[in-house]
Structure 1
Amino acid sequence: MNGPTLSDLTDRAREIFRLVVEGYIASGNPMGSKALAGSGGVNLSPASIRSVLQELQDAGLLAAPHTSAGRMPTEVGLRLFVDGIMQVAEPTAIERAQIERGLTAGGSIETALVAASSALSELSAGAAVVMVPRREPRLTHISFVPLSAVRALVVLVGEDGGIENRVIDLPAPVSASALEQAGNYLTSRLTGRTLADAVAVVRAEIAGGKSALDAVSAGLVERGLAVWSFDAAQRPVLVVRGQANLLDDAALHDIERVRQLLDELESTEAIAAVLDAAREAQATRIFIGSENRLFSLSGSSVIASPWRDGDGRVVGVVGVIGPTRLNYARVVPMVDFTAQTLGKFIGQDGFSRK
């Protein structure tokens, strides 16, 4: 997104530009020359301020809505403000404690992520999202339990003690011995492996004719792997909290944009792709409006930061989604602190991975 740099602006224009952006972020309303002249920060007449506002508009940094004589920042202007003018405000001790509270309570990782995202959404007044780490437990046992002549329960047991099961439909009645053979075969191949690794090994054996399974048992194995593989691909990877925060007083004047944003928040895979773009970042990333295709229609911003495990590996991303008038100076360090806190606490002994 090209545009003028700070060095292209005079000191007077830079100061007026800063006041417009900060006033717009605080109120959600365009800023007029009278309001700027009365702010105490500009020692100029309203006529002189209007002249500078027009220059900033001609430079593409400000826009004038049809319904107002005031100005508001464009996406180009917000980017310039965020990159060159904004001074961040670190989270207070109370805010840090609120974010940490849910993480220090113990319980499952999912419970901790919900608590962290709920706190972040409340503090930021936006919708908070946390990309849940894809869990790939190593497996110890799989079995097929008959439910009827044409249905069976597939039970998967992980090294972490987790147990999950799925019901599969059988193409024809299958004997108990065939079910047992399929379970024993899979258990021997998957012990100590992740499901993805086990799937690759088993399918290679069956395709190469190296398995000792008969046709019926081979079919059972394939059906069991298919339901688990599909389930893993469809499993949600996001925790989203605080959508109601997007329905503030300012949103009532732009209800179509908010409706579009709420629709976009329903697209789990698309949001995951947005957050995935921040995985390799060394610091918090900010996507303003059309800088990200998913939220270009709603004109929304995303502030996201990767979080790492104890070995320094990126395992997820935490972020805030909201209107482009997000309080970037406050939310950016808050997201960064949440990411650091998640990395600090997730994986400690106080968390169960079951």
Structure 2
Amino acid sequence: MTTAPITEMTDRARDVFRLVVENYLGTGTPVASRTIARLATLNLSPASIRNVMQDLEEMGLLAAPHTSAGRMPTETGLRLFVDGMMQAAEPSPEERRAIEMQVTEGGPIEDALSAATLALSGLSACAGIVMVPKREPVLRQFGFVALNEGQALAILVAQDGTVENRVLDLPPGVTPSMLTEAANYLSNRLSGLTLRQAQDRLAHELAADRRALDGAARELVDRGLAIWSTDISDRPVLIVRGQANLIDDNASADLERVRQLLDELEGKQEISRLLESALAGSATKIFIGSENKLFSLSGSSVIAAPYRAGDGRVVGVVGVIGPTRLNYARVIPMVDFTAQTLSRLMR
């Protein structure tokens, strides 16, 4: 079986193929020749359309499920359609506002990334995904602001200008002057280091000079570094939201595929490895079904786009996972716009 490129297909074959794919992506069910014949854009009889659909099946672009007289695109056919025939529709003003409002609400960058997955999931009816490469910030400055007798706000300013806050439980006996002393000590001694390097230097310096800080201030410094180190190590490499969207009206006919896909989503490390291939690219990538080994059993598609830091470096990937019959023309630009929105946020 060979697959003809678009240029080798007749105009009639291209028209029928495009209509079959568009109808299938809209309904999720095989498309019959009578359905195509009823469309005003073609002046062909159902018999003529059946002949063309048979030719397209022999080319490997369409398939006929044994339970239906209609045809549906193969993964090869979907790839041909996406790469050479699809007319992408830009996100509507409402979709743009929905994405921007959720992503730019403020707070830590992790909140924006999680919001991006929720926005994509809700708008695309797929599962939203975002990959966050693990990284340790390079420290510039620390600060402590008392909240009450037993808690303070620990403030970390990184060299790239990002500011993050965490609530810290204070050891007994800490005074406002100790908060200032600990913050100055951390900022003066540890600026320019990663958290791991800062912990190593702190342990060495305090062991060499126990008089550098008194007991309560020293414990405060230890806790201040520990809360950030634990937080960095626990940050998710991959955020997935909206898995319930994958169980739609058509799922009951294909429960095994849905179960397999949900199992695959649990294996976040495997998905992360898949998305890493999008880190090296400059444009949106589309993986359809068995083109990727991870989703070969569930027959799922992945659309992923890289987002960038202020210096132009690709720092992560955002996208969606859904059935191969998802609306590529609408979802691909939506994923691309979300990646652009995250890139603007990180400047």
Alignment correspondent of 1:4:
4
Structure 1 residues 75 and 199 mapped into 2: Cα distance closer, same or farther (>3 Å)? farther
User: C-alpha separation between the residues in 2 aligned to 1:58 and 1:199?
Assistant: 65
Q: CA deviation at 1:162?
A: 5.4
Secondary structure of residue in 2 paired with 1:303 = strand
User: C-alpha separation between the residues in 1 aligned to 2:118 and 2:70?
Assistant: 35
Alignment correspondent of 2:237:
237
Q: CA deviation at 1:138?
A: 2.9
Alignment correspondent of 1:41:
41
Secondary structure of residue in 1 paired with 2:15 = helix
Give yes or no for the alignment of 1:278 onto 2:278: yes
Query: What's the CA shift string for 1:17-53, capped at 9, x where partnerless?
Result: 0011001000000011111111222211111111111
Assess if the C-alpha contact under 8 Å between 1:236 and 1:268 holds in 2. no
User: C-alpha separation between the residues in 2 aligned to 1:274 and 1:130?
Assistant: 12
State the one-letter code of the partner of 1:74: T
Assess if the C-alpha contact under 8 Å between 1:4 and 1:59 holds in 2. yes
Assess if the C-alpha contact under 8 Å between 1:63 and 1:74 holds in 2. yes
Assess if the C-alpha contact under 8 Å between 2:122 and 2:242 holds in 1. yes
Give yes or no for the alignment of 1:71 onto 2:71: yes
State the one-letter code of the partner of 1:260: Q
Alignment correspondent of 1:50:
50
State the one-letter code of the partner of 1:291: E
Q: CA deviation at 1:196?
A: 5.3
Q: CA deviation at 1:104?
A: 2.7
Instruction: Answer with 16-25 or 33-42: which moved more.
Output: 33-42
TM-score (norm 2): 0.76
Alignment correspondent of 1:21:
21
Alignment correspondent of 1:172:
none
User: C-alpha separation between the residues in 1 aligned to 2:61 and 2:9?
Assistant: 11
State the one-letter code of the partner of 1:327: N
Assess if the C-alpha contact under 8 Å between 2:131 and 2:316 holds in 1. yes
Q: CA deviation at 1:235?
A: 4.3
User: C-alpha separation between the residues in 2 aligned to 1:113 and 1:161?
Assistant: 15
Q: CA deviation at 1:164?
A: 9.6
Alignment of 1:81-160 (within 5 A): 81-139=81-139, 159=157
Alignment correspondent of 2:32:
32
User: C-alpha separation between the residues in 1 aligned to 2:345 and 2:42?
Assistant: 47
Assess if the C-alpha contact under 8 Å between 2:64 and 2:70 holds in 1. yes
Assess if the C-alpha contact under 8 Å between 1:138 and 1:158 holds in 2. no
Query: What's the CA shift string for 1:155-212, capped at 9, x where partnerless?
Result: x9955565699xxxxxxxxxxxxxxxxxxxx99996532145568999xx9xxxxx98
Alignment correspondent of 1:342:
342
User: C-alpha separation between the residues in 2 aligned to 1:106 and 1:133?
Assistant: 21
Q: CA deviation at 1:230?
A: 9.9
Provide the aligned C-alpha RMSD in A.
Answer: 3.4
Structure 1 residues 286 and 200 mapped into 2: Cα distance closer, same or farther (>3 Å)? farther
Alignment correspondent of 1:152:
none
Alignment correspondent of 1:293:
293
Structure 1 residues 309 and 246 mapped into 2: Cα distance closer, same or farther (>3 Å)? same
TM-score (norm 1): 0.75
Alignment correspondent of 1:174:
none
Assess if the C-alpha contact under 8 Å between 1:307 and 1:318 holds in 2. yes
User: C-alpha separation between the residues in 2 aligned to 1:258 and 1:286?
Assistant: 20
User: C-alpha separation between the residues in 1 aligned to 2:208 and 2:108?
Assistant: 40
Q: CA deviation at 1:240?
A: 1.2
The number of aligned residues is: 302
Alignment correspondent of 1:169:
none
Structure 1 residues 119 and 313 mapped into 2: Cα distance closer, same or farther (>3 Å)? same
User: C-alpha separation between the residues in 1 aligned to 2:4 and 2:240?
Assistant: 36
Q: CA deviation at 1:126?
A: 0.6
State the one-letter code of the partner of 1:194: T
User: C-alpha separation between the residues in 1 aligned to 2:31 and 2:104?
Assistant: 43
Assess if the C-alpha contact under 8 Å between 2:133 and 2:316 holds in 1. yes
Q: CA deviation at 1:131?
A: 1.3
State the one-letter code of the partner of 1:279: L
Q: Structure 2: any 5+ residue segments left out of the alignment?
A: 143-153, 158-162, 169-185, 210-227
Q: CA deviation at 1:229?
A: 8.9
Secondary structure of residue in 1 paired with 2:336 = helix
Assess if the C-alpha contact under 8 Å between 2:134 and 2:235 holds in 1. no
Alignment correspondent of 1:252:
252
Q: Structure 1: any 5+ residue segments left out of the alignment?
A: 142-155, 166-185, 206-210, 214-227, 348-354
Secondary structure of residue in 1 paired with 2:293 = coil
Structure 1 residues 102 and 258 mapped into 2: Cα distance closer, same or farther (>3 Å)? same
Alignment correspondent of 2:145:
none
Query: What's the CA shift string for 1:239-265, capped at 9, x where partnerless?
Result: 211111111101111111011101111
Assess if the C-alpha contact under 8 Å between 1:307 and 1:317 holds in 2. yes
Secondary structure of residue in 1 paired with 2:103 = coil
User: C-alpha separation between the residues in 2 aligned to 1:125 and 1:341?
Assistant: 20
Alignment correspondent of 2:177:
none
